[in-house]
């Protein structure tokens, strides 16, 4: 089989001032096309199959690596130096902190550096290893990113073998055999299986995370792969939160007497998850209880009102994506992580497009004209600004105020 090889860029070393190191590849990224990208294995030894995307964020690698929306994906960090602030026990997004139900692999330009930060509890390399995440360092991530920009996100196997021995043909066959995320419902891998409450608020320096005080509203959050910071921001805004599994029926949700319903982010193909999620969301919309969705939740709301979702070639992954908010006429720089989008041409007349990506013109937000419901494709809880992270959560609270609040049960 023909194979194109992208030569490994010599790894930048730390603790090895001469810059010399043996040129033995201990890690590879084997694309479904047969191409092999060599580098140095870090994190867990072994192999993992997934879709390769690139993330352009300059900070937040621990949150990125633990975001459940990255299930079945291998993340290429375009920022060259990753690991400098180490890892800690706090910056984790997946609710089950001990579980590694998020990205399966990670690709880095330089050797992992650090840790050097007052919050660090350890080093990224050992943390990746403990969580079973296969890493590959010393890769020309600019070349890989260019490849993804030209040809879309490829399926691949990432493999780490400390002795440098790989069965490349077997890895090529595995990458080519993998069916891809299009058509996959990945929510069962990451979502909650039981109902639970959440009362933690946002982190502040010196205090860490806080506990919610008085509440004005009760929000039921449907967990398709929810992130901790979303739950914290709901609590910051005075909401008592009950999280329910993605398979909870409308009756089960309504029995909890919610003032508002939240649809979370999550991995995989929205159309597949929509097979069971859409009928539930449609029934919830009928009640006119205020509803807010983020990311996969946005895509599912789009499907519930009769829209379509499409697979994007390279998607949006990073913390520097420009989005235009038509309700304010302002551009915001936001955090995003998605490989599917709501097809703006499929939106029915009862839906207003509130946000659009200035990167590729894809839909990034909707509001319904006949229901108190809205959603966005981005992650307001992780966006760098210029708006504060809470404003969409406050908009949700505003809908609950307008609907007339009840005291939480």
Ligand X SMILES: NC(=O)CC[C@H](N)C(=O)O
Residue nearest to ligand X (CB): 295
Active site residue 381: yes
Please report how the helices 296-304 and 270-286 are oriented relative to each other, as an axis angle in degrees rounded to 10: 60
State the catalytic residue, choosing from 218, 338, 355, 379: 379
- For position 295 contacting ligand X by CB under 6 A, the verdict is yes
**Of 138-146, 196-204, 295-303, 401-409, which segment contacts ligand X by CB under 6 A?**
295-303
CB 246 within 8 A of CB 266: yes
Q: Residue 383, interface with ligand X (CB under 6 A)?
A: no
Q: Which two tokens stand for residue 269?
A: 């193909």
DSSP characters over 149-197: HHH---EEEEEE-TT----HHHHHHHHHH---STT---HHHHS-SS-EE
Name which of 217 and 340 has its Cβ closer to ligand X: 340
How far apart CA 382 and CA 388 sit, in angstroms, is 10
Interface region with ligand X, contact rule CB under 6 A, candidates 235-243, 293-301, 368-376, 390-398: 293-301
Decide if 212 contacts 251 (C-beta within 8 A).
no
Query: x/- contact string, 135-154, with ligand X (CB under 6 A)?
Result: --------------------
103 vs 373, beta carbon nearer ligand X: 103
Task: Estimate to the nearest angstrom the gap between the alpha carbon of 267 and the chain centroid.
Answer: 7
| Count of residues in contact with ligand X, rule CB under 6 A | 13
> Rounded CA gap, 400 and 398, in Å?
5
Contact of 123 with 114, CB cutoff 8 Å: yes
- The single residue of 160, 295, 317, 364 carrying the catalytic annotation is 295
Is 296 among the residues that bind ligand X (CB under 6 A)? yes
Compose the 325-354 pattern: x for residues touching ligand X by CB under 6 A, - for all others.
Answer: ------------xxxx--------------
Position 268 contacts ligand X (CB under 6 A): yes
Residues of each annotated binding site for L-glutamine: 69, 266, 268, 296, 299, 337, 339-340
Q: Does residue 69 interact with ligand X by CB under 6 A?
A: yes
Query: E strands along 228-360, which residues?
Result: 239-245, 260-263, 291-294, 309-325, 330-342, 351-357
Which residue among 114, 115, 154, 267 contacts ligand X (CB under 6 A)?
A: 267
Positions marked catalytic: 295, 379, 381
List residues near ligand X by CB under 6 A. Answer: 69, 265-268, 270, 295-296, 299, 337-340
């Amino acid at each position: 089989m023909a194979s194109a090889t992208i030569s490994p860029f010599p790894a930048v070393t730390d603790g090895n001032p001469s810059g010399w190191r043996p040129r033995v590849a201990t890690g590879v990224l084997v694309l479904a096309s047969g191409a092999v990208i060599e580098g140095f294995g870090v994190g867990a030894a072994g192999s993992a199959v997934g879709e390769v995307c690139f993330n352009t964020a300059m900070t937040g690698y621990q949150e990125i690596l633990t975001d459940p929306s990255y299930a079945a994906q291998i993340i290429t960090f375009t920022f060259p130096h990753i690991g400098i602030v180490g890892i800690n026990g706090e910056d984790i997004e997946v609710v089950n902190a001990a579980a590694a139900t998020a990205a399966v692999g990670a690709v880095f330009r330089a050797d992992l550096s650090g840790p050097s930060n007052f919050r660090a509890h350890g080093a990224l390399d050992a943390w990746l290893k403990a969580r079973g995440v296969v890493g590959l360092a010393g890769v020309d991530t600019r070349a890989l990113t260019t490849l993804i920009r030209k040809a879309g996100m490829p399926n691949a196997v990432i493999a780490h073998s400390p002795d440098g021995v790989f069965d490349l043909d077997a890895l090529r066959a595995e990458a080519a055999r993998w069916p891809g995320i299009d058509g996959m419902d990945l929510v069962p891998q990451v979502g909650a299986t039981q109902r639970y409450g959440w009362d933690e608020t946002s982190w502040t320096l010196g205090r860490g995370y806080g506990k919610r005080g008085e509440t004005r509203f009760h929000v039921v959050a449907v967990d398709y792969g929810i992130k901790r910071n979303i739950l914290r921001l709901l609590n910051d805004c005075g909401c008592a939160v009950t999280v329910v599994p993605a398979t909870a029926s409308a009756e089960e949700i309504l029995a909890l007497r919610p003032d508002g319903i939240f649809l979370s982010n999550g991995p995989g193909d929205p159309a597949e998850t929509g097979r069971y999620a859409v009928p539930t969301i449609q029934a919830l919309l009928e009640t006119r209880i205020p509803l807010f969705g983020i990311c996969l939740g946005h895509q599912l709301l789009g499907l519930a009102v009769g829209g379509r979702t499409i697979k994007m070639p390279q998607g949006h992954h990073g913390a520097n994506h420009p989005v235009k908010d038509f309700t304010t006429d302002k551009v915001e720089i936001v955090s995003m992580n998605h490989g599917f989008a709501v097809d703006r041409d499929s939106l029915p007349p009862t839906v207003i497009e509130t946000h659009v990506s200035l990167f590729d013109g894809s839909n990034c937000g909707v509001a319904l004209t006949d229901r108190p419901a809205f959603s966005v494709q981005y992650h307001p809880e992780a966006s760098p600004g210029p708006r504060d992270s809470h404003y969409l959560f406050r908009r949700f609270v505003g809908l609950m105020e307008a609907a007339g609040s009840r005291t939480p049960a």
